Every structure is written in structure tokens, then in C-alpha cells.
Amino acid sequence: MSPQEFFDSMRIFGEPNIPDNGELATILGGYLRGLGRYPGDVLQRAADTIIATRSVRKFPLPFECLEACQNAQDEIANAARIQREGAAGKPESSDPWSPARIELADKLMDSERGRQAAQEGWIILLHDFCRKEQRLPNNFEVLDLQAAAAALKAKQEKRTREFSGIPRLILPVAKAMEAKFRRLSNLAAGKGPQ
């Protein structure tokens, strides 16, 4: 994807805000100068992220586009680093619960996507996805994970209401899930497992 294609794809949100004395060419030049620093795969990932997550029907500001590009570049670099480290000495396991897959999923938590999942409360589902698929989810898979997390939360709240709190039988499981959430949130924040 070229910077011009990136700019054109943002028109899904409407036209950019042009001052009365301004011209589209001037605004376009401002966007293209900043976007020109990024390769096509980064621009594509950033555009996909903005399109999948933006809830405002207004053309994104230059800093929003550049921030999305920087996050995309960091995620791509992080995934490449993890893949290099994994290829250097760890055989790929077909067992989704293998220590190598769990370690890879742990490393993938230290990303913008991991921080988003920790903040929004679906990091456990993200970790499970990364462990199974050995990669971060794309934007459409993120929407599925968010929907699954909301459904699980609603189910848990219903169960808690029906039993007037957490039943003693599943209390150890609830505590284990809280501990896993804290551990993964720490990984996403770059603090280590603690």
C-alpha cells in the first residue's frame, strides 16, 4: 500500500476537514510526508486497524494516522523478532499446550494489542488465541475475541446473580483466572510475569 492509497482508504470516514482558505493538495502533502516514512505492509496494517477500530465518522487527523503506523511497525517488528528467536533453536510443536507455544504467547502479550486486551479485559482470550495460532490476531479476529469476551462476562455475571455470588465449588477456578489475568496484564505492560 502506498501513502496515497492509505490516504484514499481513510475517505471511508468522509473527506478531510479543509479550512476555507486551504486546498486539498496542501493537506494531502502533509499526510503523505509523514506516511512516506513507512513501508507498504505497515501502511496496510495501520489502515486495517483504523478501519476496524475507529468509531468516529470523521477523517482521521495526521497524528492518528502516524500513531497507527508506528504501532503497526512496532507490532510487525516484535512479531519478526519473536519469530527469529523461535526459529533459532526451538522446534515448532503441534501441541497447543507445549511450553514453546505458551512462551511465544507470553512474548506476544508485550505488544500494543496485548495492552489493549489487558485494558479491555479480554487478555486471557488473546493469550489463548496466540498460543493456538502462534501469532497476534488480525483486526477482524480481534472483533471476534472482544465479542467472545463480552459473552463470557455476561454468562459469568448471570451465574453470579443466580448463585448469589461465586459458588464455593468454582471459587478456586475464579481465583486462578484472576491470577492468570494479572500475570498476562503484567506481561502486556512489560513488567514480566511477577
Instruction: Evaluate whether 86 touches 105 at the Cβ level (below 8 Å).
Output: no
More confident residue, 162 or 38: 38
Query: To 10 degrees, what angle do helices 62-89 and 24-35 make?
Result: 20
**pLDDT tens, residue by residue, 29-38:** 888 888 999 9
- What is the reported pLDDT for 150? 93
Range 29-55 average pLDDT: 90
pLDDT value of position 42 = 94
Between 24 and 1, name the one with better pLDDT: 1
Q: Which three cell numbers stand for residue 172?
A: 478456586
Nearest to 64 by CA among 31, 112, 111, 15: 31
User: Is residue 83's pLDDT more than 90?
Assistant: no
Q: Would you state the pLDDT for residue 97?
A: 84
Q: What mean pLDDT value characterizes the chain?
A: 84
Is the pLDDT at 118 greater than 80, yes or no? yes
Beta-carbon contacts of residue 173 (< 8 Å; ≥ 6 apart): none
Reported as a pLDDT band with limits 50, 70 and 90, residue 70 is very high
